[in-house]
């Protein structure tokens, strides 16, 4: 059974097909309004979410399907001690496809090897978030028209930011990508991502703490929130949470066609004064997330029927 746990579960060609489908949905939404009639999506969210859960649900409704699920572990039998494996076997009796978010790294994978229906990883701990990556790739394609020859600055919590790990992994398959890692020393990109992704694929990268000096080189600035929920103590979070706050004056040296991205939610790291800047793409990302998830749901359900 085909699931999506890691962005590398999809080939570059399949990602291109999903992006083409998403663009076609954007252009011709009515064409897709009955594609999943009679199918049920289960959204199993053991961790909070606004965009991912509701965009999955909106995606399934717009495909003519229906949705069931829970938005917190406490309202499921996980609160009574049920395992992820048993939950996946159970939901396989009721639904056609699962989208699962879980605080433990690997939980959606465990679900996928126990389910008899496709499982989509909707974020597992500080590990991966492949559908956010698909969202980001669709946004990059629509904004920049290409995946090659880009300089991308990742700024903020690069240690716990799973969207950063997944997007860097996805970008490792394209040509001439330069990565600028902007973070406090304590929140640097994990060494396993540096070794297994950046270095293994000979990707050019630099690490810095200084956002403004990095700014002039960037085609894309990917801001991230400091992930409070992954910190072991509140003191460290409070010390680091406002390490970077993007305000209009910090864009002085930026390219005129910079794309400012953020997976959201934001806390303080992008001033609302940036929202009206034509370079701000983060609410476009939110909308793109629904379209690419529509394309993904259709693909996995079609493959499950084969
Ligand atoms: N980007 C993202 O995963 O947002 P949510 O946590 O609101 O789903």
What span, in angstroms and rounded, lies between the C-alpha atoms of 182 and 187?
A: 9
DSSP conformational letter for 218: -
Q: How far apart are the CA of 54 and the centre of ligand 1, in A?
A: 9
Tell whether ligand 1 has an atom less than 6 A from the beta carbon of residue 52: yes
Q: Please tell me the pTM assigned to this model.
A: 0.95
What span, in angstroms and rounded, lies between the C-alpha atoms of 60 and 205?
A: 38
* 188 confidence band (pLDDT: 50, 70, 90): very high
Tell whether ligand 1 has an atom less than 6 A from the beta carbon of residue 248: no
Two tokens, residue 62: 């717009």
Residue 230 reports pLDDT greater than 80: no
* 261 confidence band (pLDDT: 50, 70, 90): very high
Please name the residue that has the structure tokens 């979070």: 237
Q: How far apart are the CA of 297 and the centre of ligand 1, in A?
A: 18
Two tokens, residue 155: 């700024």
Q: Which residues are catalytic?
A: 51-52, 80, 101, 129
Q: Which residues sit opposite 177 in a β-bridge? A: 150
Q: What's the N-to-C CA distance of the chain in angstroms?
A: 10
Two tokens, residue 20: 């083409």
The protein residue with its alpha carbon nearest to ligand 1, atom 4, reads 51
Q: How far apart are the CA of 290 and the centre of ligand 1, in A?
A: 12
Encode pLDDT of 284-298 as tens digits: 999 999 999 999 999
């Amino acid at each position: 059974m085909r699931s999506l746990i890691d962005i590398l579960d999809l080939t570059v060609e399949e990602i291109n097909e999903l992006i083409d489908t998403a663009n076609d949905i954007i252009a011709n939404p009515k064409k897709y309004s009955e594609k999943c009639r009679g199918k049920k999506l289960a959204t199993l969210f053991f961790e909070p979410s606004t965009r991912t859960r509701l965009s999955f649900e909106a995606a399934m409704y717009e495909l003519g399907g229906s949705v069931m699920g829970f938005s917190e572990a406490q309202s499921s039998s996980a609160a009574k001690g049920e395992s992820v494996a048993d939950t996946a076997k159970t939901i396989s009796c009721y639904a056609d496809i699962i989208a699962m978010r879980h605080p433990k790294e690997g939980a959606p994978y465990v679900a996928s090897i126990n389910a008899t229906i496709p499982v989509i990883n909707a974020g597992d701990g500080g590990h991966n978030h492949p559908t956010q990556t698909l969202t980001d790739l669709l946004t990059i394609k629509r904004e920049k028209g290409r995946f090659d020859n880009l300089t991308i600055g990742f700024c903020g919590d690069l240690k716990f930011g799973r969207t950063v790990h997944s997007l860097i992994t996805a970008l490792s398959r394209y040509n001439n990508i330069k990565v600028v890692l902007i973070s406090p020393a304590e929140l640097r990109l994990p060494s396993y991502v540096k070794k297994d992704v950046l270095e293994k694929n000979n990707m050019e990268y630099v690490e810095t703490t200084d956002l403004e000096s990095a700014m002039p080189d960037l085609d894309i600035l990917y801001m991230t929130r400091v992930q409070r929920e992954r910190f072991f103590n509140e003191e460290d979070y409070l010390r680091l949470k406002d390490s970077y706050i993007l305000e209009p004056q910090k864009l002085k040296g930026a390219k005129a066609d910079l794309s400012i991205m953020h997976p959201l939610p934001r806390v303080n790291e992008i001033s609302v004064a940036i929202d009206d800047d034509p370079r701000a793409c983060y609410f476009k990302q939110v909308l793109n997330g629904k379209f690419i998830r529509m394309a993904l749901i259709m693909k996995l359900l079609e493959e499950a029927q084969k």
